[in-house]
Amino acid sequence: MPADITMPQLSDTMTEGAVVKWLKKEGEKIASGEKIAEVETDKAVMEMESFDAGVVAALVAAEGQKVPVGSLLAVIATGSENPAEVKKKIASRTPPAASPPASRQEVAALRKPALVAAASSSFAKASTGEVREPDDVGHGATRQPATSVPPVHHQDNGGEHRAVSPLARRIAAEKNIDLHALRGSGPGGRIVKQDVLSQTPATAAAPPQLGNAQTQVIPLTKMRSAIARSLLASKQNIPHFYESIDVDVEDLVKLRVELNDLLEPEKIRLSLGDFLAKGVAAALLRHPALNATFNGTEITRYTDVHLGMAVAIPDGLIVPVLRNIHLMGLKEIRQRSVDLVDRARAQRLTQDELTGGTFTVSNLGTFGIHEFVAIINPPQVGILAIAAAEKRPVVRNDQIVARTMMTLTLSADHRVVDGATAAEFLKTLKTLLEQPGMMLV
């Protein structure tokens, strides 16, 4: 029987997605586990696989089209049925309430900043009602074949209907730009993104420029928009509080040098961040109140530590997760974290490596930052900001001496964590870092 492929919910905040590129055409054979499309979520672009083998009978969504979660994307003829007959039946279904396909330029714009990751398939068999967890969200949404997607038109003051691309329409709404006053440079006079960004009204003169001054309007990418929404919601809904502690890492720096000398034949060089990650994992096991998530009504504490590591990429910020870090030695932490960060920057992470974190660290030490605070990554209840290790004058035995110091700042959710609990966590972490041998036993 035919198998439906629907838009999965690949993140907690995802309500719709867009087909960036179809990797299979109608009439082509597809094997189970073979990639069929690149789908843009609110955080990344995932290469989607099919659980079912057969022939692609119908591609329902067009490239660039936004589709609600749970709506139909494609149908695979898995048995002896005729793919052409399957496509005819699909065409008779009710069309989905989704945006029309974007122009070629807009589809290209989707692909350029995309984070493409190999993700598990989230497809289901509608004919049997079988749901493949955890990504599938079921069926029942309205559907529409790609060949019958209606164009979007905008009616001007004179009653004329003018075609407007979805992206251009969204940018115009965000920038409060009147579409009536724009010339369309797309096919048939269609208003496209560049028309809105250039702001060239049909009747109004260009705004005056001061000397050689220029401005650049940069629309938010889907990833940047997701970051903005998530962090805004975090600051608005989570009562953050912050506690900082200064840590003497002089002995830690010396231990790092000694261990790196021993590891030189293996071409492994430990960083201070590796020791921090090891110490954080150990401290979280002793203070599980911070190794937790909160959904608004229930607190979930974890006995395993899955550490999120904030990584800057050209289009924003991504937080890959180093799973079960509490079971790793320093050498494995270095190897696994380097691999994870490199693949994050190369846009080759899987969905599993982007989810499931129980606590996060944000390290700006390599930038020389003296101290900073970080925003909690919900549903987690804490995040640690790691600043630079630097020489500072400190008092030791009533003498002012130069020591290598580091400031750590914990951001915690006051709905879940109390000030004393956070302080105890930082005290434990400080002890582990100032007596690094304790992390090795």
First to last CA, the chain: 58
Report which residue type is found at 360.
T
Q: Residue 172 contacts by C-beta under 8 Å, 6 or more apart in sequence?
A: 164, 178, 179, 182, 196
What number of helices (H) and strands (E) belong to the chain?
A: 9, 21
CB atoms within 10 A of CB 140: 10
Say if residue 288 is preceded by a cis peptide, omega within 30 of 0.
no
d(CA 69, CA 138): 9
Sign of the Cα torsion 349, 351, 352, 353 reads positive
Residue in this structure with the two tokens 């799973």, named with its chain if needed: 323
* Burial class of residue 267 (count of CB atoms within 10 Å of its CB; 0-12, 13-18, 19+): exposed
180 is catalytic: no
Report which residue type is found at 236.
Q
Q: Residue 15 contacts by C-beta under 8 Å, 6 or more apart in sequence?
A: 42, 68, 69
153, 161, 370, 414: which one is catalytic? 414
**Of 383, 371, 387, 385, nearest in space to 416 by CA:** 383
CA-based radius of gyration for the chain: 26
CB atoms within 10 A of CB 287: 20
Phi, psi of 291 (to 5 degrees): -95, 70
E strand residue ranges, 93-196: 116-118, 153-155, 161-163
DSSP 201: B
Judge contact between 65 and 102, C-beta under 8 A: yes
Catalytic residues: 414
